[in-house]
Structure 1
Amino acid sequence: MHDLDLSALGGIARLAGQAILDIARSGFAVTEKEDQSPVTAADTASSGIILAGLAQVFPGLPVVCEETEDAPYAARRTWKRFFLVDPLDGTKEFIRRTDEYCVLIALIEKGSPVYGVVYAPATDTLFCGGPGIPSVRRVAGGPAEPIRAVPPAPGEEICVMASRSHPDPGLAAYLRRFPAVRQTSRGSALKLAALAMGACHLYPRLGPTMEWDIAAGHALLLGAGGELTAYDGSPFLYNKPDLRNGPFVARSFPGETIDGVSILNV
């Protein structure tokens, strides 16, 4: 990874975010993809900017992008390094005109996220980092501010992040294992950014996601000292034959317990 200059990724994400904001201000239509998920001109415009930027700065490096046709696994399985891109994560939030959507670019090496960029256009907030690359936040192009995930203190109420647009039916049952819980919600991968900033402790995701939804925030969380694993504690891997993800638990600390209570599927 260190042979790549990743500093351009933030600029590419901000350019894509500016296109998203331009479309938000000018109005847009909403259509449906084959899976009945919504898509707008902002998704398409952001995708085009990111793909062009990556091709220029990192020629020849493969890209898996939500808005383009996936390469077959027979080809993908040979990739040792590639980008995972969600040009507009949180399309439902964008359509509702909230601030909780973002641009996601992740670099994957040998199935693991090694660097991630999470950019929130509405607040002009850029997050980036990865394992061995301490995570930072930049607001309105300002200086890089280090961010750090914060574990709960012994006996502290556990702050649990939940999805705003995709509630998990099994979440209430999962949370009953903890003696004191405070639940909050946020749209898109900004949930993982909140963990990385120390704004909450736990994000269990029991419902389905796609690889491009999670990879950038996963990298960011690792760079902030947090952890994300599959629900059974096994490594959460990318470039699978099926790009759908199984359940996972993201947390603001390494390990598998809080005050002796397991956070995994036990």
Structure 2
Amino acid sequence: MPKPPPRRSLVTGANRGLGLEFVHQLLARGDHVIAACRHPGRASALNQLAGQHPGRLHVLPLDVADEKSRTAFAHELPLVTEGIDLLINNAGVLHSGERWGSVSAANLEDSLRTNAMGPFLLTQALTAQLVDGATVANVSSMMSSLSGDPDFNAPSYRISKTALNMATLMLARALAPRGIAVVALCPGWVLTDMGGSGAEISATDSVSALLQVVDAVGPDRSGQFLDRFGATMPW
């Protein structure tokens, strides 16, 4: 029986944290990986990996919050791959130190552009390059749930990730006729620059668990919000 071709995976925000760990583990699994980040020239870890995996890792510039950047990326992508089997919308921003009465419009707008609009509009821009039966994984957060009792911690981040969950539902409906599954994923509280030193799990453990969830996702789970164990999260 012929060996199936390697999966073609695209990771945004791939220069550090969860994004970089996704790239590491996808390469280890044999995928061909496109790693997107705002400043490839400064992404030393990614460039080192590209040297170690010639032909299997391509590092491309992308600012998910910028329309011109998304358009340029969509035009450049066919030069390095003929399709995308897995899109991981990981790029995100968290503005720390926000307090009631001093949340700035700039921070809120930046969060919405990066965390919600970016994944939604990038997926839309790449629709023709997503293969039938592909998977789109939007990295969300436990802080997005409306079912909890949120405090006033990181309001711009919370609001934007809740908007990402709605974007996930709408993308799932739009792409369902092609068998493309779209899910929102909660990685847990992860030890990254964004998660901080008090976090509970390593990026390695989080990504390993999330990839098992992604592997098991089919059209029947499209539109769901899942934790790293594959359980359904409350909206």
Say which structure is richer in helix.
2
Larger radius of gyration: 1
- TM-score tier, shorter chain, comes to 0.3 to 0.5
Say which structure is richer in strand.
1
TM-score normalised by length of structure 1: 0.30
TM-score normalised by length of structure 2: 0.33
